[in-house]
Amino acid sequence: MTRFDLAIIGAGPAGMSAAVTARDAGLSVIVVDEQPAPGGQIWRAVGRNAGARSGNLAFLGEDYAKGAELAAQFEASGAQFWPSASVWHADSPDEGDKTVTVAWDGATRQFRAGALLIATGAMERPVPVPGWTLPGVMTVGAAQTLLKSSGLHPEPPLLLAGSGPLLLLFAAQCIAAGIEIAALLETTPPGAYMRGLPHLPVALLGWRTLLKGHRLKRQLAASGIPVYRAVTDLVADGTEQLERVRFRSAGMPVELEAAHLLLHEGVVPNPQLTRLLRCDHHWDAAQRCFRPDLSDRGETSVDNVFVAGDGGGIGGAMAAVHSGRIAAFEIAERFGSVNRPSGDVEIVKARDALRAELAVRPLLDAMFPPPDWIARLDGDVTVCRCEEVSAAAVRKAAALGAPGPNQAKAFLRAGMGPCQGRMCGLTITEILADAHGEHPERIGYYRIRPPIKPVTLGELAALDGSD
Partner 1 sequence: MLRRLPEQKGRRVRFLFEGEQVHALEGDSVAAALLAAGAGATRTTPKSGSPRAPYCMMGVCFECLVEIDGVPNRQACLIEVRDGMRVRRQRGAPGLPGEAEDDPV
Binding site for ligand FAD (CB under 6 A): 9-15, 32-35, 40-42, 63, 86-87, 119-124, 141, 144-145, 166, 169, 267, 309-311, 316-317, 320, 453
End-to-end Cα spacing for the chain: 5
Amino acid at 446: Y
From the list ligand FAD, partner 1, none, partner contacted by residue 320 (C-beta under 5 to 8 A by kind): ligand FAD
- The contact pattern for partner 1, residues 351-390, with x = CB under 8 A and - = no contact, is ----------------------------------xxxx--
In whole angstroms, give the CA distance from residue 1 to residue 11: 22
Largest interatomic CA distance in the chain: 64
12: partner contacted, choices ligand FAD, partner 1, none (Cβ within 5-8 A by kind): ligand FAD
Residue 96 within binding range of partner 1, rule CB under 8 A: no
What is d(CA 129, CA 374) in angstroms, rounded to the nearest whole number? Answer: 9
Query: From the list 61, 130, 362, 417, which residue makes contact with partner 1 (rule: CB under 8 A)?
Result: 417
Residue 181 interacts with, from partner 1, ligand FAD, none (CB under 5-8 Å by kind): none
Residue 55 engages partner 1 in binding (rule: CB under 8 A)? yes
Task: Pick one of ligand FAD, partner 1, none as the site partner of residue 434 (Cβ within 5 to 8 A by kind).
Answer: none
Chain centroid offset of residue 101 CA:
22
Give the sign of the dihedral formed by CA 289, CA 294, CA 298, CA 301.
negative
Contact 268, 287 (CB under 8 A): yes
Query: Which residues, at least 6 apart from 119, have a Cβ–Cβ distance to it below 8 Å?
Result: 8, 9, 10, 11, 12, 14, 15, 18, 307, 308, 309, 311, 320, 324
Task: Tell the smallest beta-carbon distance from residue 166 to partner 1 (Å).
Answer: 12
Q: Is residue 58 a contact point for partner 1 (CB under 8 A)? A: no
- Binder among 95, 240, 251, 437 for partner 1 (CB under 8 A): 240
Please tell me whether residue 223 binds partner 1 under the rule CB under 8 A.
no
**320 vs 338 by CB, closer to ligand FAD:** 320
Report the phi/psi class of residue 251: left, alpha or beta, with left for phi > 0 and alpha for psi in -120 to 50. left
- According to CB under 8 A, which one of 57, 65, 107, 142 is a site residue for partner 1? 142
Cβ 294 to ligand FAD shortest distance, Å: 13
**Is residue 84 a contact residue for partner 1 (CB under 8 A)?**
yes
8 half-sphere exposure, CB direction, 13 A CA radius: 36
- The entry of partner 1, ligand FAD, none near residue 9 (CB within 5 to 8 angstroms by kind) is ligand FAD
Q: State which of residues 345, 454, 464, 467 lies at the interface with partner 1 (CB under 8 A).
A: 454
Q: Which option in ligand FAD, partner 1, none does residue 149 bind, with CB closer than 5 to 8 A by kind?
A: partner 1
Provide the minimum distance between the beta carbon of 59 and partner 1 in the complex, in angstroms, as a whole number: 9
Q: Which does 90 bind (CB under 5 to 8 A by kind): partner 1, ligand FAD, none?
A: none
Residue 151 found at the interface with partner 1 (CB under 8 A): yes
Angle between helix axes 405-412 and 425-436 (nearest 10 degrees) is 110
Pick from 139, 163, 304, 390: which binds partner 1 (CB under 8 A)? 139
Binding status of residue 450 toward partner 1 by CB under 8 A? no
Q: Compute, in degrees rounded to 10, the torsion defined by CA atoms 439, 440, 442, 447.
A: 170
Of partner 1, ligand FAD, none, which one sits near residue 119, judging by CB under 5 to 8 A according to partner kind?
ligand FAD
Task: Give residues with Cβ within 8 angstroms of 197, minimum separation 6.
Answer: none
Query: Which residue from 53, 217, 351, 447 is in contact with partner 1, where contact means CB under 8 A?
Result: 53
Closer CB to partner 1, residue 27 or residue 122? 122
State how far the alpha carbon of 169 is from the alpha carbons of 221, 295, 320, 366, in Å.
13, 32, 18, 18
Point out which span in 29-37, 221-229, 331-339, 432-440 binds partner 1 (CB under 8 A): 29-37
Q: What is the C-alpha to C-alpha distance for residues 132 and 123, in angstroms, rounded to an integer?
A: 17
For residue 319, the Cα-to-chain-centroid distance in whole angstroms is 14
Nearer to ligand FAD, 15 or 444 (CB): 15
Taking the alpha carbons of 129, 120, 92, 344 in that order, is the dihedral positive or negative?
A: negative
Per-residue exposure over 124-161, b if at least 16 CB sit within 10 Å of its own CB, e if not: bbbbbbbbbebebbbbbbebbbebbbeeebbeebbbbb
d(CA 39, CA 197): 34
Helix (H), strand (E) at residue 70: helix 67-76
Residues interacting with partner 1, by CB under 8 A? 34-36, 41, 45, 48, 52-53, 55-56, 84, 86, 123-124, 133-139, 141-143, 145-147, 149-155, 177, 179, 240-241, 259, 270, 385-388, 417-419, 422-423, 453-454, 456-458
